[in-house]
């Protein structure tokens, strides 16, 4: 686990697939043909936590959906790339579009994917993660398999690991507990 924490500590950009990672992978159509997806609130807190410490986030997904834009905006995702099955090309284009002063390369990225179109991008980055119900070939090529399935807090696990790697996890948790106030009171 310590090796994973160290690897996660190098991450400057978390890139996520949507279907099967941020959602459970099901695509549901209502009677009018309107597509819906379910997202985990835990993942949203995790993604927002990375922003607090200057770690960028991005979505690269093969499908295009207005609800992905809405959820990405709610979570504060920095970059959204939709309608791209060529995930590696999309990742390279995303990296090329970033401010050069950020000095972010593929080696500085974590990528979460769950199916075959994600593999080449996952093989390019410094930290590759997936979910337990991912395709076997994706699992075989991942640094980490989360305990939670896509759409049920899997992204949060990676966000927490990245925070631990950067040494920010305890500080982040302290924002939601009385621990910070008690520590300050004890020092008075």
Q: What pLDDT was estimated at residue 34?
A: 87
- Please give the chain's pLDDT, 188 residues, in tens: 789 999 999 999 999 999 999 999 998 898 998 888 899 999 999 999 999 999 999 999 999 999 999 999 999 999 999 999 999 999 999 999 999 999 999 999 999 999 999 999 999 999 999 999 999 999 999 999 999 999 999 999 999 999 999 999 999 999 899 875 554 444 54
Q: Which residue has the tokens 């050069």?
A: 100
Triad 40, 23, 131: Cα angle to 5°: 95
Beta bridge partners of 114: none
Q: What pLDDT was estimated at residue 180?
A: 55
């Amino acid at each position: 686990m310590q090796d994973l924490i160290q690897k996660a500590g190098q991450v400057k950009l978390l890139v996520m697939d949507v279907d099967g990672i941020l959602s459970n992978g099901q695509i549901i159509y209502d009677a009018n043909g309107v597509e819906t997806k379910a997202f985990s609130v835990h993942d949203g807190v995790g993604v927002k936590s990375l922003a607090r410490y200057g770690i960028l986030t991005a979505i690269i997904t093969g499908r295009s959906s207005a609800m992905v834009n809405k959820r990405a905006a709610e979570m504060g995702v920095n970059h959204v790339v939709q309608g791209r099955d060529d995930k590696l090309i999309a990742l390279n284009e995303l990296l090329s579009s970033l401010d050069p002063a950020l000095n972010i390369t593929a080696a500085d990225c974590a990528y979460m994917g769950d199916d075959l179109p994600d593999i080449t991008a996952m093989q390019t980055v410094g930290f590759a993660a997936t979910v337990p119900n991912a395709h076997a070939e994706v699992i075989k090529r991942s640094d980490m398999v989360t305990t939670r399935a896509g759409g049920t807090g899997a992204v949060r696990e990676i966000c927490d690991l990245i925070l631990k790697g950067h040494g920010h996890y305890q500080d982040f948790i302290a924002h939601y507990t009385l621990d910070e106030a008690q520590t300050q009171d004890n020092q008075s």
